[in-house]
Amino acid sequence: MTATKDPAFTPTRSLKGSLGVTAIVLMVVAAAAPLTVVGGAAPLGILLGNGVGFPSLYAISAVVLLLFSVGLAAMTRHVPKPGAFFTFVGYGLGKPAGLATAFLALLTYTAIQISVHGYVGYILSVTVTGLGGPDIPWYFYSLIVVAIVGFLGFRHIDLSSKVLGVLLIGEVGIVLVLVGAVMMSGGAEGLSLAPFEPTNVFSGAPGVGLMFAIAAFIGFEATAIFRDEAKDPSRTIPRATYVAVIGIGVFYTFASWGIVMAWGPDNVVGVAADDPGAMILVTTAKYLGAVGEIIINVLLITSMFACVLSFHNVITRYQHSMSNAGVLPGSLGRVHPKHLSPHTSSVVQTITAGILIVLFAVLGLDPVLQVFTWFAGVSTLAIALLMAVTSVAVIVYFAQTRLDRRPWNTIIAPALGLLGLVGSAVIILVNFPLLVGDVDADGAPAFGLVSSILIGLIVLFPLFGLVQAQVLKRRKPAVYEHITEAISESSEAAAPVAPVA
């Protein structure tokens, strides 16, 4: 049956725009922070994960997420609503599941944004002090970045996409130049495919390495969130999703392979162990000289800025969609008459980020070892769970509606992606304590207070959504009926099958 309009449900103003494939890809790839991943996560993956074989995990993760993307793209064509996970799970598995997913998504994107805010504050503090400037605590720099991001997020999305585009080109360009220099020199021990040999792929702790690999892709799935601001949603969103995941996968695999070749399979783990945080700078200094090292240090900062700006845009649009569905305050659904942005949602997100940074400063948390590492771990596990649930929703939705009868798009690819995501989530959960330093006397992962609290957040947020759904069903049935109906102009043009009750 088709969705019906309820006079008691009045949609708020919708977002508008003309973003093409390139603009959307730039925003979601910027969220993945390519240089931050290559310079920060890759050395840790090499050191703590499977060593020389770590680049292969990017390729494996890309295949799993590409399979997931097939179902995501199919849903985008048949459910013309913004909201991504929130809406798709609601249509496939029912309104309570959709609302639970929405709150878990908010936790995911807020956690990754806050983690990077801590890291960029630390990097700015160290950089300024190293140049002879005043020794100012990291959180002051983090708050300055929060304010700048808030200003850009308040304005039209086109401004953010242009800023992100410039920053992204710079950081991707310097990495490609670095890898090119490594290839031209032949590397430290000659060029080889050692990172992809089975003995290296399964060496060390591949489960830990997989955590870092999957975390590097967080953000690519957000293409569907920009549906209302896309030029031609039914074509733009699927294409942008495929381009994003394939592009990210190829780039990370190639770049991390280049780092291994720069030091050689026999030496790369030792170099990473010396100082994983400075590995990319040392590698650049070796192959591109002092000037290259300065350039990449600056671009590392801008990479983190691009990341938090992109996730700010994602979170504000999630809040906007949830507001339009009636599950968050109506003011969050307002659209600025001039900038056509969800400006109120942007202001709320800016205030939220600022409050959390102040809270972490008061608690005395380390910006890298605690703020960055802890909350990046939360977002990594949460995103794997989100995508796994969405894969189930895709399969159920098309089995019930029969709107798309292509087996590969609606059953096979989503099922294969689901298997990969569930396996990844289990591996991440088992190794999660390592991210926060909770280990037993033998150094094995053991859930302690910190890791239990962080895992508790992943349980608490969706539980809140389930409870709210039941409350709405009893007290506000009109709102409950439209939980997944994140109204937009594009949704008015079609009448998809109503979501599961």
Parent domain of 122: 21-437+461-488
Q: According to the model, what pLDDT value does residue 351 have?
A: 94
496 in a structural domain: no
In angstroms, the CA 312 to CA 144 distance is 15
In angstroms, the CA 135 to CA 284 distance is 26
Nearest alpha-carbon partner for 404 in 85, 1, 76: 76
CB 349 within 8 A of CB 316: yes
CB 404 within 8 A of CB 398: yes
Query: pLDDT class for 116, splitting at 50, 70, 90?
Result: confident
Provide the whole-model pTM: 0.81
In angstroms, the CA 24 to CA 240 distance is 6
433 in a structural domain: yes
Q: Which residue has the higher pLDDT, 302 or 61?
A: 61
Mean pLDDT of 53-77: 92
Model pLDDT for residues 391-437, shown as the tens digit of each residue: 999 999 999 998 888 999 999 999 999 999 999 899 888 888 877 77
Domain count, the chain: 1
Is pLDDT above 60 for 485?
Answer: no
408 in a structural domain: yes
In angstroms, the CA 426 to CA 388 distance is 11
Q: Across 125-204, where does the E strand assignment appear?
A: none
Instruction: Give the domain CATH number at 26.
Output: 1.20.1740.10
Span of 137-146, 300-309, 329-338, 428-437 with lowest mean pLDDT: 329-338
427 in a structural domain: yes
Is pLDDT above 50 for 489?
Answer: no
224 in a structural domain: yes
Q: According to the model, what pLDDT value does residue 17 have?
A: 52
454 in a structural domain: no
Mean pLDDT of 88-93: 89
Nearest alpha-carbon partner for 267 in 335, 352, 189: 189
